[in-house]
Structure 1
Amino acid sequence: MSNPDQRARRLCLGLVIACFFSSHALADAVPKAVIVSPLASTNRTASGQPITLPAGRTTVAVSRYIIAPGATLPVHKHPYPRYAYVQAGHLAVYAADTGQRYDYKAGDFIVEILDGWHYGENTGAEPVELLVIDQMPEGRTTNTVLKP
C-alpha cells in the first residue's frame, strides 16, 4: 500500500492528465475564430453622472423593450443603474428638468440618467428595439419610478 504523499501525487497527476485531454476536447468544440468588438466603455451616465452600484447583494435584470413609431414613454427615473443597447430604430431621450436631448440609433449603447426625471420618444418610422439591463438591490422588482 502506498503512503498518503504518493496517493496525493497520483491523484494530482490524474487530474492534470484529465484536464489536458478535456481542454483539447473543449478546444475542438469551440469555434476557431472569435471576434470581439467593444461597443462602449464609460464610468458616466448620459448626463455625466458617475455610475455607482447598489450596496450589498445586487440583482441584474435583462428586458427587451419594443417602442412603436411615434410612441412617447411617460416621465420616469431610475434610482439604480440602467443600461440599454439600441438594436433598431431611433430614440430621443429628454431630461425633463433641463430639456437636454440625447439621440440614439441602432448600435448605440445608453447609460441612462441616474435618479433624474426623463422620458423617451421613438422619433423614427420603425419600432425602437432595446435590450435593457438593470442593476438593483436584491429583492427589488423594478428600477423605474413614474413621475406622479
Structure 2
Amino acid sequence: MLQHFESLHVFVLNQLQFKEQWPLDRRSPLLDASPLSYNSGYSPKRGGKPMKRICEITTLLALLAGPAAFAQENALPAGFETQPLVKSSVSRDNEPITYPSGTPEMISVIGTLAKEGRTPLHEHPVPVYVYILEGEIELRTEGKEPHRYKAGEAFIETQNRKHQAFNVADGPSKILAVFVGAQGTPTTVAAK
C-alpha cells in the first residue's frame, strides 16, 4: 500500500510539472482524462496559485490512499514481531473498563503463587491487565463461573468485584499484573 501511495505521489508531482508547461487553455487531452486533472483555477497566464494546487492534490491523495497509507507498514525493525494478546474495552467478565480520575499512574508487578497457593479474596478499583508467565491459575470471581488461564494467556480483571486466584499448576505460577491507576488510588482492596 505504501509503495502504491509513493507511486501515486510521483505521478501527481509529474502532473503538476506538466501543467505548468501547459496552461489550462493548451492542456493535453490525455491530461484532461486523468482523474487528478480537475480545473483548480491554476494558470500561469492568470497568476494562479501553485501552493493552492499542491494542497488540493495532497488532499486528493489523502482521500484516495486512505488512512492505511499513512500508517507505516514497516514501523517495527526487521526481525521484530508482535503477537496481540488483549484489545478490549471490557473486562474478562464483559463489564466496562473504567479509568480513575486524577494523575495517571501505572504500576506493574510480577506475582508468584506457590504450588497450591492462592491470593486473598480482593477487588480492584482500577483496570488491571494480567499475563500468565508460568504455570496455570484458576480465577474465581464472585457471581461468575471459574476460569483457567495458562502460561501465555492474558486477560483484563473485572473491576470492583471480589475475586481470588488459585494456582492449579504442578509447580509455582507466575503472573505479570499491570495496574492502570491514579496517584493516591489503591490498586487492590482486601475483601470485607
Q: Is 2:79 the partner of 1:33?
A: yes
Q: Report the Cα offset of residue 95 of structure 1.
A: 1.2
Return 5+ residue gaps in structure 2 as ranges.
1-75
Answer 1 or 2: which has greater helix percent: 2
Match of 1:114 in 2: 159
The structure with the largest alpha-carbon Rg is 2
AA paired with 1:145? V
Answer 1 or 2: which has greater strand percent: 1
Q: Is 2:182 the partner of 1:134?
A: no
Q: Report the Cα offset of residue 56 of structure 1.
A: 2.9
Q: Is 2:99 the partner of 1:53?
A: yes
CA distance in 2, matches of 1:76, 1:130: 16
- How many percent of aligned residue pairs carry the same amino acid? 25
Q: Is 2:188 the partner of 1:144?
A: yes
Q: How does 1:1-148 map to 2 (within 5 A)?
A: 32-96=78-142, 98-140=143-185, 142-148=186-192
RMSD: 1.6
Q: Relative contact order (alpha carbons < 8 A, sep ≥ 6): 1 or 2 greater?
A: 1
Divergent runs of 4+, >4 A: none
Q: Report the Cα offset of residue 41 of structure 1.
A: 1.2
Return 5+ residue gaps in structure 1 as ranges.
1-29
Q: Report the Cα offset of residue 32 of structure 1.
A: 3.2
Structure 1 residues 8-62: Cα deviation after superposition (integer angstroms, max 9, x where no partner): xxxxxxxxxxxxxxxxxxxxxx963211111221111011111111123210001
Moved more, 46-55 or 112-121: 46-55
CA distance in 2, matches of 1:110, 1:39: 8
CA distance in 2, matches of 1:119, 1:144: 12
